[in-house]
Amino acid sequence: MTGVPQQSDPDSLEHVAGKVEVLHDHFKDSKAKMTGVTGQNPFGEIKHPDTRPGEPHPSEHAVQALGNFKDRMHSQFDAAADLMKSSGGALREAAKALREADNAAKDSLTVKDGSLDT
């Protein structure tokens, strides 16, 4: 890993912000790809013996478990996407603050003719 730069420049911060914000989109895309059981049940029709009437099929339990897992994972993907979006925004705000500080410093400097001659 390379060393940490001694100063931050606004352009670099905005570049990193763009990269972080792309992660937001990747999390949203990944979330969309994670689905529960859709269409035909991949676990088939497994039925309990007649000695346990009225109880759901084991495959129904598996479908429900997968659905619960999917819902929890979706909430994790949403949380990660929101974190990436807010991190990108924080980086952009930092870049803006650096630019404003640089501009304020430039406006505050007054050089009189010949005062810096060595």
Judge whether 88 lies within some domain.
Answer: yes
Judge whether 70 lies within some domain.
Answer: yes
Question: What does the pLDDT look like over 56-68, one tens digit per residue?
Answer: 666 777 778 888 9
The 8-class DSSP code of residue 1 comes to: -
Mean pLDDT across the chain: 80
Judge whether 79 lies within some domain.
Answer: yes
Judge whether 112 lies within some domain.
Answer: no
Judge whether 81 lies within some domain.
Answer: yes
Provide the whole-model pTM.
0.63
Supply the range of the domain harboring residue 19. Answer: 9-30+57-102
Q: Would you tell me how many other CB atoms lie within 10 Å of the CB of residue 29?
A: 11
Judge whether 38 lies within some domain.
Answer: no
When divided into structural domains, the chain yields a total of: 1
> Distance between CA 104 and CA 64 in Å, rounded?
60
Judge whether 36 lies within some domain.
Answer: no
Question: What does the pLDDT look like over 24-40, one tens digit per residue?
Answer: 999 999 999 988 777 77
Judge whether 45 lies within some domain.
Answer: no
Residue 116: pLDDT band by 50, 70, 90 thresholds? low
- Give the pLDDT confidence score for residue 45 in this predicted structure: 67
> Distance between CA 66 and CA 98 in Å, rounded?
48
- Give the pLDDT confidence score for residue 89 in this predicted structure: 93
Mean pLDDT computed over 60-81: 89
